[in-house]
Amino acid sequence: MMREFESRDGQMMIGGVSAASIAEEFGTPVYVTDEQRVRENYRRIHGAFSRFMDTRIHYACKANTNLAILRILEQEGSGIDAVSIGEVRTCLKAGFTPDRIMYTGVNVSDRELKEVSDLGVMINLDSVSEMERLAKIAPGYPVSFRITPGVGSGHGAKVITGNKGAKFGIPLDEVVGTYARAKDLGFDIKGIHAHIGSGGQSAEPFSEMMEVLIGLADEIAELGIDLDFIDMGGGIGVPYRPQEEEMDVEELASVITDMITEETGIGTLILEPGRYIICDSTVLLTRVNDVKDAGTKKYVGCDAGFNTLIRPAMYDSYHYVALANKFGKACTAKYDVVGPICETGDYLAHDRVLPDPTEGDIVAVYNAGAYGFSMSSNYNSRPLCAEVLVNDGKAELIREAETVEEQWRHQIIPERLRK
Ligand code: LLP
């Protein structure tokens, strides 16, 4: 089931703090993350798999790279799935040692390969081209390969990555040849990786992918290459709708780890969950600026739009919304919840029943932790918003809201155009 929040005197509570008081203290829009929920999610997924075999969780930090959140996961013992030099350096800054980070880039430049290998972070290669280039830059480097398993899954076409013909990974019929070539080039080959996509809600694609990976690992073993790990990527979905079932991760763990028998010689399983760890730990709070009855539709106009949370506009993603300061009150009519961006596609939620929304109310957008802040932008010259961490009845600022002045910082007016 979708995560629910405690109600106290008609107020939504998160981490023991009332959402409306956070909005009052820190301003809106604001992302609010519940520290304990992050820890629980990490422990639940790690516990489910590590009961059966040695398991490393590499948090896919593209979901949210806030340093304070990274600190929490570093304390929990997590590793990192990083996609760029920026993410690698951010995680090092947050205290992760290089051996806990794995870099899985796509269409990577030589410069970035050099920077990542200089830092000693393991590289998961996405293509033959990348392998040949890395062989020159960092001979003998520890690597694994992302393969295209021919199995895809996800909440929508834009986030399915493992299907045949995808832009990601080594095509299936080239995998064994590529490992042979990597051995000839003298790489220190550690493992095999695949990622089917993001936000899928069914377990079957994971076992189908695992079957492909294990078949390949057998063939690779015949080349005299012993793999230390299989990495099954991320992609475990979470419920975004009130009655939606959650994926049974205990069951998933049992099925997947059963498949990795002793004969495979593979001792470690790696998972790269982003959404599963951070999604339901966070709500986006946005203030109602304007309420409009447009005849055929009623609008609740908020201070967060697709500049702050792009998932509805970009993927048609559903996010549950509630009025944090009228929590649990009877609903009166249907509204579209929309933002301050000058585009019709700027919406947070369509056709939601809400309890008589009025100016000044606080809308809580649920499940905003994964790919919420990290995909936000300055569109319409709106500053990036603040992030707050709640724990044990206390709220702390973990990112200041940007200022407009900061948006000018890197811009240059040529002398001849100056006033
Ligand atoms: N590993 C790799 C190699 C990935 O590319 C990703 C996500 C993950 C792990 C983590 O997937 P997760 O467990 O979070 O599903 N912006 C989209 C999601 C894009 C996911 C990209 N890759 C969204 O808002 O739904």
Say what the pLDDT of residue 244 is: 96
The band of 273, judged by pLDDT with boundaries at 50, 70 and 90, is: very high
Active site residue 342: yes
Nearest to 116 by CA among 13, 243, 399, 133: 133
Query: What's the rounded mean pLDDT across residues 161-176?
Result: 96
Average pLDDT, the chain: 97
The band of 351, judged by pLDDT with boundaries at 50, 70 and 90, is: very high
Q: Whose CA is nearest to atom 20 of ligand 1?
A: 198
Give pLDDT tens digits for 276-293.
Answer: 999 999 999 999 999 999
Rg from Cα positions in the chain: 23
Q: Does domain 7-33+280-408 have CATH number 2.40.37.10?
A: yes
pTM of the model: 0.98
Query: 356: CA distance to ligand 1 center in Å?
Result: 36
C-alpha dihedral sign at 274, 280, 285, 286: positive
Give domain limits for the chain. 7-33+280-408, 35-278
Query: What's the rounded mean pLDDT across residues 293-314?
Result: 98
Question: Could you tell me if the CB of 193 is within 6 A of ligand 1?
Answer: no
C-alpha dihedral sign at 269, 270, 276, 282: positive
Give pLDDT tens digits for 49-79.
Answer: 999 999 999 999 999 999 999 999 999 999 9
What is d(CA 228, CA 53) in angstroms, rounded to the nearest whole number?
13
DSSP, residue by residue, 251-284: HHHHHHHHHS-GGG---EEEE--SHHHHGGGEEE
The single-letter code of the amino acid at 171 is P
Question: Could you tell me if the CB of 46 is within 6 A of ligand 1?
Answer: no
Nearest to 286 by CA among 310, 318, 309: 309
The band of 386, judged by pLDDT with boundaries at 50, 70 and 90, is: very high
Query: 158: CA distance to ligand 1 center in Å?
Result: 11
Say what the pLDDT of residue 143 is: 98
Query: 263: CA distance to ligand 1 center in Å?
Result: 31
Query: 383: CA distance to ligand 1 center in Å?
Result: 25
Q: Does domain 35-278 have CATH number 3.40.950.10?
A: no
Backbone angles phi, psi at 57, to 5 degrees: -95, 120
What is d(CA 143, CA 234) in angstroms, rounded to the nearest whole number?
19
Say what the pLDDT of residue 37 is: 98
Q: Whose CA is nearest to atom 7 of ligand 1?
A: 198
Coil/strand/helix, residue 290? strand
Shortest-distance atom of ligand 1 to CA 124: 3
- What is the rounded (10 degree) CA torsion for 221, 197, 171, 118? -70
